[in-house]
């Protein structure tokens, strides 16, 4: 049962989320999916795993899978939020674009994330390009491991997060 159904107002987290997004209507930042609790949890797992656990214990099967699982849950919705921000800026400059999350953008971001993930786990050349690109932000390594493809179902979490945000936008 939602807060609206039981007669109470939105909870603390929802009020904070709305404040971070700002405004109403066209003035809302199109980043709700990136502020979803599941996205924030996945990003938190990535940060702790990559900067604490791997630094302390080194790369291992467990830390590798944690990165893969959390990354696959968060990457598509962070990508859709970044695209939304770019479209919002274009909209402010006069382009006739819709910055709010759409089903199409969500599906394409999930598909792109899955394809890039599979490519970097199966191809040394793709892994090299990816680490070079990511190296602009921070040093990265990718270990070729076909078993990492078993983590691809985590993309369903990204779909669930996106669907939740789409429902929120409609309601």
Distances in whole angstroms, Cα of residue 158 to Cα of each of 56, 74, 137, 152: 29, 6, 23, 11
Angle at 138 between CA 136 and CA 142, to 5 degrees: 100
Of the pLDDT bands very low, low, confident and very high (cuts 50, 70, 90), residue 132 is very high
In the block, residue with structure tokens 């910055």: 99
Angle at 151 between CA 150 and CA 154, to 5 degrees: 135
| Domain boundaries, given as residue ranges, for the chain | 12-170
Q: pTM of the prediction?
A: 0.84
- List, for residues 12-52, the tens digit of each pLDDT value: 777 776 666 655 555 677 888 998 999 999 999 999 998 89
Tell which phi-psi region holds residue 60, choosing left (phi > 0), alpha (psi between -120 and 50) or beta.
beta
């Amino acid at each position: 049962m939602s807060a609206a159904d039981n007669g109470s107002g939105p909870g603390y987290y929802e009020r904070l989320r709305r404040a971070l997004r700002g405004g109403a209507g066209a003035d809302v930042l199109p980043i709700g999916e990136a502020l979803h609790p599941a996205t924030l949890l996945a990003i938190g797992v990535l940060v702790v795993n990559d900067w604490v656990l791997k630094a302390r214990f080194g790369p291992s099967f467990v830390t590798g899978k944690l990165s893969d699982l959390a990354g696959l849950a968060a990457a598509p919705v962070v990508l859709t939020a970044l695209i939304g921000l770019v479209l919002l800026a274009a909209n402010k400059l006069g382009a006739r674009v819709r910055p709010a999350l759409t089903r199409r953008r969500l599906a394409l971001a999930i598909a792109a994330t899955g394809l890039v993930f599979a490519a970097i786990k199966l191809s040394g050349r793709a892994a090299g390009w990816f680490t070079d690109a990511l190296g602009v932000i921070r040093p990265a390594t990718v270990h070729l491991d076909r078993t990492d493809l078993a983590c691809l179902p985590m993309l369903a979490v990204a779909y669930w997060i996106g669907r939740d945000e789409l429902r929120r936008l409609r309601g």
